[in-house]
Structure 1
Amino acid sequence: MSKQIIRNNNNKQQQQQYQQHKQHPKQQHPNQNNQLYHLQQQHQHNFCLKSAYGFGQSVPAISIALQRARNEHLIDFVNFTFTWLICDCDQVLAVGYSNKLILDQDVDVIIGPPCVTSAIDSSLAPGFYNIPVFLWGATVATTLANDSVYPTSTNVNSDTKILAQAVEAVLMQFQWSEVSLVYIPDNVRRVGYFFPQDFESIVNSNPNLTIVYNQQMLPTPENMRSTLLQLGNRSRIVIANIDNTATRRDFLLAITDTGISQSNEFVFIFAQLRNLGMLQQISTSTNITKYNNFWMTTNGVNDGRDGDALKAARRTIIIDLENESNSQIDAFMAQMTSEFGKPPFNCINECMGGPNDQIVWF
């Protein structure tokens, strides 16, 4: 018996970009500065995508799963053929590859893509051809749970509707009826794109809840402070969705800088899908994952403001998925690292993005 599996993977820049605010020095030519900024942002964005769920960093999980299945004699008489195409978070490529591999390669199963916008589009054709699709990575959009649209898709992720329902439950528990919603989308995790839609839908269906202020923020301290000053006159309960950990800390500092952290009246509810609670990952070595508190600096450079961020953190509630066992994660990551570059995928150097690149969890 032979099974052919297609892995539709992403590790570069998505076509949809979130445009960040940038102040340009007058002495520099605007076009030159724009180009440099774009290249810097693209490089950082590509690294984040690749580190989170790039092909070379994630595909060893398949080898580990197959080995365990063979050890447990679950697939003793099954041979697998793997084919993989890199769509780089490009929606057009993802759709084209899914159709091509179903029609030309006659595959049995598709794994991925891990980018949510690509998954939304590329999972339609497998439904028509009755091909199973297993989604992972950042596939957090609620629409992927619609069985009538995606009858053959299985998503290993919790979606943003479930997160929005959890926030609703907390608000009802404390009888908080008027809330503000602020968020900053992120092109890697993308919870900030889909959570606001689901939360608004849930609030609209609940006569006891009202969003009195709704604002997408720019990832700059100036814009965050401006937003906080505006919402301060409208509500004391603030729902915040900020995917990027460094940006989230900047938001905490903005809360302190505006004096809001000194008030006992404000509560900030951070909604996230990280399995980390009030922790954040700060580094990953070959065999161990390290964490610290979510209000602490993320780049390893002490800016002397952890205390200021802590003042704001004391006004927060974090709603997240249940924490997993750190020891189990460390053991799994050690296995992943040991499989880098090995058959059947043989992904090294350029395939990994660089000879020294390792897996990083965001």
Structure 2
Amino acid sequence: MKKIPFFIPFLILLFQSPLSGDGAILQVGFLAAADNSTELAPFIGWSNVAGALGVAWSRIVEYGLLPQYETMNLTWVLTNCREADAVGSVINYAEGHAHVVLGPPCTRPAQVAGSVAKYLDFPLILWGPPFDSSLLNQFEYPTIASTTSSTLYQAKSLMRMLSYFKWSEIALIYYVARSDLIPRCTPLISDFETLVNSNDNLTITYRRQMSVITNTSYATVLRNLKELARVVVVCLESDEARRNLMISIAENGMDTNEYVYLMIESRRAGFSTTFWNGTDGKNDLAIRAARKFLVMDNQKYNDTTTFVQEVQTAFSRAPFNCPNCTNISEDIRIFGCRYTERVTGPTISQVGPLGDALLLYAYALNRSIAAGNPTPTGSEICNVAKGMEFLGFTGKVIVNQNSTRTPIFVVYNIDTNDKEFAVMTIAEDLDDSSDPVASSITLTATAAKIWETWGGTAPLSTPICGFTGTDCPKSFTDQYLAIILGCTAAALVLIVAVISTVVFLVRSKRQEEERLNQLWQVHFATLVKPPQKNTMHSSRSLQSTVTTSTKVTINSKKDTERHSFFFLNNDSVVARKHNFRAVFTKNDRAMFRKVRIN
């Protein structure tokens, strides 16, 4: 495209405030893309965004932010994100004594123009799609502020959410369809992987960039993923890619309660998208899978319908005079294929951030004037803007210490009736070193509500039965049966051994006692009665011979009522008779044994 010179008469737009008198003129430059650039126009094309500046100026006048300025003189250059055109335009605006330039809306031109603006100390307010994190460098770009955020902020918020739900292993699927002049998924994934590499508690177990988004290609990816992850981070840049993924998930049976898919968006639409609306008869499959998705998106517009109507009205009036500039994106919302609601609203157009960019400059200039500096330089206006908060068209705008926007991300879910609801909000501040949960994450739903479509329980990074389903934890019996049986057998053997030992010892002791008892016990069979002799013969013998023989004495003895006489091993013994069987105690036996031994 031929370069458009600065201050061509038909590009001069004057916005007259209703104030009387001769006020100053606010000179504003504006860099955008031409409508014939098919890759850029839906996002930053003139007819999709320029009308927001008319709405913003009306808001500035209504709020009395800049009473010193009666008129805004708006000029624009359609650079189509060419670096040379962006730099030339910034130089021309600075030399033409413009107060501010809104743009460039693309990262690479912003980097080059930002370096020039640093030299000129001239303010640039970025409003395009999420930009590369390199632009956060305050030393290199001290005159840049923005109403959009770096992809690093969303990557950091994603890390916070994964940490909050205690997910430590994830898969990563992304598809790039946008121009590399306004990328989204590529820098986001790059920032995210950088953060993961420095985090010991998180691992990417599977990563795939899709080049083909058919159901067949998705099925191949999902089969490979199935054995590696249950938490899947998804960044897709087309509705076709989103819808086909959901259908493939359902067709491959990966829409169970084990899986959760985290879709990362920046369209301020949540689940208000067309990715489950089609004519192929597979809407039920798409919505079935959608119930396993969480969507992280920028906060929505304050009042989408009113804002879009105001932009369309501004386009139709002078100085835009573009009554056909009404195509600020259309979004079809379908809830479980039960009914369709058609809503008009900017889902990819940067019309809202552009309007906020002019508001940001107006609020910062108002602060500077109140501080006694009516003509601040680029670095001065950025320093004044730090810490500001105001309600913009895209919600609450918070300017952080990098002079860029602290984004507020909202995580959305759908309930069992397929109605969208907010799960949590994350106000991401890269300078925040405190507890990320306490300082950044605000739950807007109960755990029971959040995981309602997952059966009431949050999915785990690693399923209880493992990724293959074969690693289920064993029951106590299954796990320890062999040990229990072994221990039981050992115990039984030990018990038997102890009992046997005790029995053996007791028996041995008894046998020893019996052996010792036999030393003093006299069995009746061993006793021999002495032979009985004739009395007369004995008398003669006694008369004729005197002897002291015991045998003769025992032989001559007769049993009495209490005693009997016997021979025991040729020894004569006397046994005492008892009318009952004598019972000896243990002590008696022990005494007898000692007597015998002694």
TM-score (norm 2): 0.47
> Equivalent residue for 2:230?
236
Q: Report the alpha carbon displacement of residue 166 of structure 1 after superposing the two structures with TM.
A: 1.9
> Equivalent residue for 1:358?
327
> Equivalent residue for 2:205?
212
CA gap 1:206/1:47 in 2 versus in 1, 3 angstroms: same
Structure with higher RCO (Cα < 8 A, 6+ apart):
1
Is 1:169 matched up with 2:160?
A: yes
SS of structure 1 residue aligned to 2:30: strand
Is 1:114 matched up with 2:88?
A: no
State the AA in 1 paired with 2:228. Answer: R
Equivalences for 1:217-228 in 2 at 5 Å? Answer: 217-221=210-214, 222-228=216-222
> Equivalent residue for 1:4?
27
- Equivalent pairs, count: 304
> Equivalent residue for 1:178?
169
> Equivalent residue for 1:153?
144
> Equivalent residue for 2:276?
296
- CA distance in 2 between counterparts of 1:331 and 1:316 reads 30
State the AA in 1 paired with 2:322. Answer: I
Is 1:317 matched up with 2:289?
A: no
Gaps of 5+ in 2: 1-23, 330-345, 349-598
CA gap 1:71/1:324 in 2 versus in 1, 3 angstroms: closer
SS of structure 1 residue aligned to 2:298: coil
Q: 2:196 aligns with which of 185, 196, 203?
A: 203
- CA distance in 1 between counterparts of 2:178 and 2:93 reads 27
CA gap 1:123/1:223 in 2 versus in 1, 3 angstroms: farther
Residues 70-79 or 144-153, more deviating: 70-79
State the AA in 2 paired with 1:98. Answer: V
Contact 1:190 1:243 in 2 (8 A): no
Contact 1:270 1:319 in 2 (8 A): yes
Q: 2:308 aligns with which of 333, 339, 343?
A: 333
Contact 2:127 2:147 in 1 (8 A): yes
> Equivalent residue for 2:263?
270
- CA distance in 1 between counterparts of 2:126 and 2:321 reads 21
State the AA in 2 paired with 1:170. Answer: M
SS of structure 2 residue aligned to 1:340: helix
> Equivalent residue for 1:308?
285
Equivalences for 1:73-152 in 2 at 5 Å? Answer: 73-78=64-69, 79-103=71-95, 105-152=96-143
- CA distance in 2 between counterparts of 1:334 and 1:220 reads 35
Contact 1:91 1:122 in 2 (8 A): yes
CA gap 1:102/1:347 in 2 versus in 1, 3 angstroms: farther
Partner deviation per Cα, 1:231-267 (whole Å, 9 max, x = no partner):
2222222111113223211111222233322x43222
Is 1:348 matched up with 2:322?
A: yes
- CA distance in 2 between counterparts of 1:176 and 1:111 reads 40
Gaps of 5+ in 1: 14-45, 281-293, 350-354
Q: Report the alpha carbon displacement of residue 224 of structure 1 after superposing the two structures with TM.
A: 2.6
SS of structure 1 residue aligned to 2:315: coil
CA gap 1:315/1:68 in 2 versus in 1, 3 angstroms: closer
State the AA in 2 paired with 1:9. Answer: A
TM-score (norm 1): 0.76
Report the aligned-residue RMSD: 2.4
Identity %: 25
Contact 1:252 1:309 in 2 (8 A): yes
